[in-house]
Chains A and B, each alone.
Chain A
Amino acid sequence: MEDKDKDKDKEKKYSTVSIPTPLVEKIKQRIEGTGFTSVSSYVTYVLREVIANMDEEEEEVFSKEDEEKVKERLRALGYLD
């Protein structure tokens, strides 16, 4: 693949996000001696973790208690035996 094509490919797969410089400095300190090779790779990792956790929290949002209340109302409305 030519360099120009590689650049184009990279442009499609990545976007630039602005992060305050003091935070970038803190991240650089934090990743020293870890397996992270750049601030970008660390930030990507953290964001993936955050989003995955948010999804897990959402999983629990419709609790058994909620479900019982909903079912009770659905019975009153005639949608459930």
Chain B
Amino acid sequence: MRTPDPDVNYIVSGLERSGTSMMMQILHRGGAPVAFDRSRQADYHNPKGYFELEGGKIINRLMEGTFPFDQYRGIFVKITAYGLQYLPSGPGYRYKVIYMQRSLDEILTSMEKMSGPLNREEERPAFEHLHRFALKILRRREDIDYLLVPYRQVVHNPVEEIDRINRFLGGMLSREDAVRAVDPDLYRNVKK
């Protein structure tokens, strides 16, 4: 298997509850280096773990400009959609981003279960706009190479999607191991 480029920051992104933790598990199982700590333990909402740094509050560090990107080159880090705007640019910065896409209704249902009632009329457009804003960042920044990955496809056709991800990563994953991280029984809130 190919080793990651030590000059590139690898990122898993997407709206919160879009399957970013699942993607981190897939990469981890598939043999890619993945950075996470145990500051947020696995729970009902993410039974296999969150695969996050700093209890998921990495966005605070990004906003402050204190996240040490140089220490995480060649390693996957989870940075959800809102954090993408704070990725530093300039000489020496190159990114490869796997961006998860999931039905916004499923995302909102999952958010609601995790954090309490939400006002869909107000919050739906806000998250839809954030998603479009994040996609624009990916499209426009020349230092970012990205792959859009539909959550539903990963759940229903893991082999096909993992092969696509593996091509994007230049063959970094063991397909057989990566596929084992996908457990369709865990993926609630997916409309049939």
Contact = CB atoms under 8 A, between A and B. Distances in A.
Contacts of A58: 132, 136
Contacts of A77: 16-17, 56, 111, 114-115
B60 A69 contact: no
B59 A74 contact: yes
Given A70-B82, A79-B80, A80-B60, A62 B133 contact: yes
Nearest to B110: A77
B55 interface: yes
Contacts of A80: 57, 59-60, 82
A57 to B, nearest CB: 11
B123 A69 contact: yes
A78 B118 contact: no
Given A73-B123, A77-B114, A66 B40 contact: no
Contact of A73 (B60, B118, B133, B136): B118
The DSSP consensus for interface residues of chain B is helix
Given A78-B56, A80-B59, A69 B80 contact: no
Interface size class of B (residues with CB under 8 A): 20 to 34
Contacts of B80: 74, 79
Contacts of A76: 115-116
Interface string B99-133: 00000000000010011101000110111011011
A46 B27 CA distance: 46
28 contacts: A61-B132, A62-B132, A65-B126, A66-B129, A66-B130, A69-B122, A69-B123, A70-B82, A70-B126, A73-B16, A73-B115, A74-B16, A74-B59, A74-B80, A76-B115, A76-B116, A77-B17, A77-B111, A78-B40, A78-B55, A78-B57, A79-B56, A79-B59, A79-B82, A80-B57, A80-B59, A80-B60, A81-B57
Given A73-B126, A77-B17, A77-B114, 8 more contacts: A58-B136, A62-B132, A70-B126, A71-B82, A74-B59, A76-B116, A78-B115, A80-B59
Interface of A: 58, 61-63, 65-67, 69-71, 73-74, 76-81
A21 B29 CA distance: 60
Nearest 7 CB-CB pairs, A to B?
A62-B133, A76-B115, A69-B126, A66-B126, A62-B129, A66-B129, A77-B115
Nearest to A79: B56
Contacts of B40: 78
Nearest to B40: A78
